[in-house]
C-alpha cells in the first residue's frame, strides 16, 4: 500500500521570547513563520526529498506530516483525507535513533507493533524479519548501548518499517552518522525501498544525499520556509546502486543545479544566523560564527 | 585436536582466574585485616584502654552471647520493623507523588518545589522533638520521622527522573499514539527508573541513619536503644556488638538495594560495568 501526500498552503508559526531585542526597538512581536505557505504534491510510491539549509523549517514540516504538531493554517491530505494526529500508517525515523535503552533491538522493533495491537507471536516474527532486512540478523538480543551509531539507526528504520506504514517519514536520518556509514546506509535504504515500496518523504541538508536518493527534490527557502522549486532527478533507480553513480554527468549536473538553487538560501540563513548572533549573543559571537551552518555544503559540492 | 586445544586453554585461563581471584580478594581485604589486627592488639598490649575499646574477639563473643540469649535478634527485629514501615510508607507516598508532580502537574510542581526543598533541608534530628510532641513517644513518632527522612530523596529523584526523560523518546512514542497510561508504563517509568532508584537507595540509607538516631533519643527497644543502654550501664562489649550489628545491617541493605537496582535497570551501561 502506498499513499500520496498533498500539502496545501501549510503555515506554521512559532512564538519566541525576544526580550533581549525589545530594547533595540525591535517589534516585540514574538512570532515568526517557520513555514509560510508550503504547497506540495507527493505521489504514491515516490521517494521525495526536501532539501534546505539548516533552520529553514524542514523538521517542522515533517512533524506536521507526522501529525505531531498542528499547522496554523493550511492542511495536509493523505489520500485525500486530512491529517488529524499521529497515526501508524505514517512511521517516522528521526535524526537520532530514539531507541528505548531498556529494550533489546528486537523489543525496540516490536514497540510500534505493540502499539498497533499485533499479537506477541506474530510481533516477534515480524520484528526478526525486519531486523534481518536492515542487516541486523543476530543482533536481536543486543541492547542499544551495545550497538554502534549506524546499527542503532538501522534498528530505528526496522522499527518504522515493521508496522508496514504507507508512508515513511525520515528526518535527516543519516546526519548524525560518520561519512562511511552514511554512504552504506544510503545504498541500503535504496535497496530496502525497492523491496518494501513505500512513499518516502526524506529530509536532508546534504545535496549529495538528495541526488542519490530522490525521485524528486524540493528545495526549501530560508526562514520563512516555502518551497522554492521542485526538480526531477534524471537518474534511473537501478543506476543509483552502482558505485560510480556519483561521477556520472547527470549526477554532477543535478548536484550543481541544486547547489545553485540552494546557495542563495544558504547565504540568507547565514545572514540570519550572524544577525542573531550579533544581536543576541554578543559574547558568544565567535562561537556562532564557527558553527556557521552552511559551511558543510560548499565543501560537499567541491569534494568530487 | 582442536577441541583439545580449546579445553587446555580454558583450563589455563581458569587457573589464572583462581590466582587473579585470590589476588583481588587479598587486595580488597588486606586493609580490613590489618585494621582488625591493630584493633585486637592495641587494647591488649595497653596502647589504648581496654575498658573503652573492646578488641574484636571480645566483641564477637559478646555478639554470640547476645544472639544465644535472643536479645540481639529481638532488638534487630524491633529496629527492622520500624525502618521497613517508615521506608515502605515513603515508597507508597513519595513515588506516586513524584510521578504525578514531575509528569502531570508540572505547574504545581514549580510552585511547591521551593517549599519542598526547604522542608527537605530541615535537619530531621531537630524535628524529632516536634514529632514526639505531636505524635507521642511511641512507635508512631519514630516511624513518622523515618518516613519523613526518606521521602525526600525518593520524591526529589522521582520528580527529576520523570522530568528529564529524553523528549525524543516521548516524541517517538507519540507517533505510536499511546494513551497517557501506556506512555507512563512503557516510556516514562522505565526511562526514569535509574534516577528513581538512586533516590530509593538514598532513602534506604537515610532511613537507617534516622532509625538509630531516633532509637537513641527515645525508645525502649531496638539496636539504637541497646547501644545507648549498654553504654550507660557500662557494658562496653555489648555496646560494640550493637555498633557492629548496625554496620553489618547497613552493608546488607546497601547490597540488597544495589542488587535490586542491577536487576531492574540492568540495561544501563554504567551499572553493568
What is the value of ipTM here, to two decimals? 0.76
- In this model, does residue A290 exceed pLDDT 70? no
How does pLDDT run across A9-30, given as a tens digit for each residue? Answer: 778 877 766 555 444 444 455 6
Residues 6 or more apart whose Cβ sits within 8 Å of residue B18: none
Averaged confidence pLDDT in chain B: 83
Name the more confident of B192 and A2: B192
Nearest to A115 among B166, B176, B268 (CB): B176
Which pLDDT does position B237 carry in this prediction? Answer: 85
Cβ distance B110 to B257 under 8 Å?
no
Confidence of residue A283 (pLDDT cuts 50, 70, 90): very low
Nearest to A87 among B177, B190, B193 (CB): B177
Strand A216-220 to strand A227-232: parallel, antiparallel, or no bridges (unpaired)? antiparallel
B190 close contact with A: CB closer than 8 A? yes
CB contact under 8 A, A68 and B171: yes
How does pLDDT run across B4-34, given as a tens digit for each residue? Answer: 444 444 455 556 688 888 888 888 888 989 9
Report the alpha-carbon angle B133-B139-B141, nearest 5: 30
Average pLDDT of span A77-83 = 83
CB contact under 8 A, B265 and A102: yes
Confidence of residue B263 (pLDDT cuts 50, 70, 90): confident
Average pLDDT of span B149-156 = 90
Q: What one-character-per-residue DSSP string does B199-214 give? A: HHHHHHHHHHHHHHHH
Q: Which of A60, A102, A106 should we substitute to test contact with B (largest number of B Cβ atoms within 10 Å)?
A: A102
DSSP SS3 for B128: helix
Q: Which of B172, B197, B265 should we substitute to test contact with A (largest number of A Cβ atoms within 10 Å)?
A: B172
Cα distances (Å, whole numbers) of residue A259 to A174, A208, A265, A266, A268: 20, 10, 10, 10, 14
Average pLDDT of span A149-168 = 87
Query: What are the domain boundaries of chain A?
Result: 5-89+167-243, 96-164
Confidence of residue B89 (pLDDT cuts 50, 70, 90): very high
Name the more confident of A7 and B248: B248
CB contact under 8 A, B175 and A102: no
B267 close contact with A: CB closer than 8 A? yes
Cα distances (Å, whole numbers) of residue A88 to A99, A100, A115, B96, B117: 17, 18, 9, 31, 43
**Domain A5-89+167-243 adopts which CATH fold?**
Rossmann fold (3.40.50)
Confidence of residue B269 (pLDDT cuts 50, 70, 90): low
Average pLDDT of span B215-235 = 84
Confidence of residue A272 (pLDDT cuts 50, 70, 90): low
- Identify the contact set of chain A against chain B, taking CB-CB distances under 8 A: 66-68, 85-88, 90-92, 94, 96, 98, 100-103, 111-112, 114-116, 143, 145
Strand A167-171 to strand A90-93: parallel, antiparallel, or no bridges (unpaired)? parallel
Minimal C-alpha gap between A89 and chain B (Å): 10
Q: Give the DSSP H or E segment for A89.
A: none
Nearest to B172 among A85, A94, A143 (CB): A94
Give the phi and the psi of residue B227 in degrees, each rounded to 5: -65, -50
Q: How many Å separate Cα B162 from the centre of its chain? A: 22
B168 close contact with A: CB closer than 8 A? yes
Portion of chain A with pLDDT greater than 70, in percent: 83
Q: Which of A115, A116, A142, A157 should we substitute to test contact with B (largest number of B Cβ atoms within 10 Å)?
A: A115
Q: Give the DSSP H or E segment for A265.
A: helix A249-280
Query: What are the domain boundaries of chain B?
Result: 1-53, 56-272
CB contact under 8 A, B175 and A100: no
Q: Is residue A263 packed enough to be buried (19+ CB in 10 Å), middle (13-18) or exposed (0-12)?
A: middle
d(CA A234, CA B118): 68
How does pLDDT run across A232-250, given as a tens digit for each residue? Answer: 888 887 788 777 887 888 8
Peptide bond into A224 cis (omega under 30): yes
For B56-272, CATH number?
Answer: 1.10.3720.10
Which pLDDT does position A70 carry in this prediction? Answer: 85
d(CA A157, CA A117): 20
d(CA B50, CA B47): 9
Which pLDDT does position B25 carry in this prediction? Answer: 86
Amino acid at each position: 500500500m502506498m499513499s500520496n501526500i498533498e500539502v496545501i498552503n501549510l503555515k506554521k508559526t512559532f512564538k519566541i521570547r525576544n526580550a533581549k531585542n525589545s530594547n533595540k526597538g525591535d517589534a516585540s512581536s514574538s512570532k515568526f513563520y517557520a513555514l509560510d505557505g508550503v504547497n506540495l504534491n507527493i505521489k504514491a510510491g515516490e521517494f521525495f526529498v526536501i532539501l534546505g539549509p539548516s533552520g529553514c523549517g524542514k523538521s517542522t514540516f515533517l512533524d506536521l506530516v507526522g501529525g505531531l504538531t498542528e499547522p496554523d493554517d493550511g492542511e495536509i491530505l493523505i489520500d485525500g483525507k486530512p491529517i488529524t494526529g499521529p497515526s501508524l500508517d505514517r512511521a517516522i525515523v528521526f535524526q537520532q535513533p530514539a531507541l528505548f535503552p531498556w529494550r533489546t533491538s528486537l523489543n525496540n522493533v516490536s514497540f510500534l507493533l505493540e502499539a498497533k495491537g499485533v499479537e506477541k507471536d506474530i510481533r516477534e516474527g515480524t520484528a526478526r524479519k525486519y531486523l534481518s532486512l536492515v542487516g541486523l540478523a543476530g543482533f536481536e538480543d543486543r541492547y542499544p548501548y551495545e550497538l554502534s551509531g549506524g546499527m542503532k539507526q538501522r534498528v530505528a528504520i526496522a522499527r518504522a518499517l515493521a508496522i508496514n506504514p504507507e508512508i515513511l517519514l525520515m528526518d535527516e536520518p543519516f546526519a548524525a552518522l560518520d561519512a562511511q556509514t552514511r554512504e552504506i546506509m544510503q545504498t541500503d535504504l535504496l535497496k530496502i525501498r525497492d523491496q518494501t515500496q513505500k512513499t518516502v518523504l526524506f529530509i536532508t541538508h546534504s545535496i549529495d544525499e538528495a541526488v542519490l536518493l530522490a525521485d524528486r527534490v524540493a528545495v526549501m527557502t530560508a526562514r520563512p520556509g516555502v518551497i522554492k522549486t521542485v526538480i526531477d532527478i534524471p537518474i534511473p533507480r537501478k543506476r543509483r546502486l552502482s558505485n560510480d553513480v556519483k561521477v556520472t554527468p547527470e549526477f554532477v549536473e543535478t548536484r550543481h543545479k541544486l547547489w545553485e538553487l540552494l546557495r542563495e538560501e544558504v547565504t540568507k540563513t547565514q545572514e540570519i544566523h550572524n544577525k542573531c548572533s550579533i544581536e543576541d549573543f554578543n559574547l558568544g559571537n565567535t562561537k556562532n560564527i564557527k558553527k556557521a551552518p552552511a559551511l558543510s555544503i560548499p565543501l560537499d559540492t567541491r569534494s568530487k | 585436536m582442536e577441541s583439545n586445544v580449546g579445553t587446555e586453554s580454558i583450563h589455563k585461563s581458569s587457573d589464572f582466574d583462581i590466582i587473579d581471584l585470590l589476588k583481588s580478594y587479598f587486595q580488597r581485604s588486606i586493609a580490613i585485616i590489618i585494621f582488625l589486627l591493630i584493633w585486637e592488639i592495641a587494647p591488649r598490649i595497653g596502647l589504648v584502654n581496654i575498658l573503652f575499646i573492646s578488641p574484636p574477639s571480645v566483641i564477637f563473643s559478646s555478639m554470640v552471647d547476645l544472639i544465644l540469649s535472643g536479645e540481639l535478634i529481638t532488638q534487630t527485629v524491633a529496629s527492622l520493623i520500624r525502618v521497613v514501615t517508615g521506608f515502605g510508607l515513603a515508597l507508597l507516598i513519595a513515588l506516586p507523588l513524584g510521578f504525578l508532580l514531575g509528569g502531570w502537574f508540572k505547574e504545581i510542581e514549580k510552585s511547591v518545589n521551593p517549599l519542598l526543598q526547604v522542608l527537605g533541608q530541615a535537619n530531621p534530628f531537630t524535628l524529632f522533638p516536634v514529632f514526639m510532641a505531636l505524635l507521642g513517644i511511641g512507635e508512631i513518632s519514630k516511624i513518622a520521622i523515618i518516613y519523613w527522612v526518606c521521602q525526600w530523596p525518593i520524591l526529589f529523584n522521582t520528580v527529576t527522573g520523570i522530568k528529564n526523560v529524553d523528549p525524543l523518546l516521548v516524541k517517538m512514542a507519540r507517533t505510536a499514539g499511546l494513551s497517557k497510561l501506556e506512555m507512563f508504563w512503557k516510556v516514562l517509568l522505565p526511562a526514569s527508573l535509574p534516577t528513581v532508584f538512586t533516590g530509593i537507595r538514598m532513602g534506604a540509607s537515610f532511613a537507617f541513619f534516622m532509625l538509630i538516631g531516633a532509637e537513641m533519643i527515645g525508645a525502649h527497644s531496638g539496636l539504637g536503644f541497646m547501644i545507648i543502654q549498654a553504654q550507660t550501664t557500662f557494658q562496653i562489649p555489648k555496646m560494640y556488638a550493637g555498633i557492629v550489628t548496625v554496620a553489618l545491617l547497613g552493608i546488607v541493605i546497601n547490597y540488597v538495594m544495589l542488587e535490586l537496582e542491577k536487576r531492574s535497570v540492568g540495561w544501563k551501561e554504567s551499572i553493568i560495568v
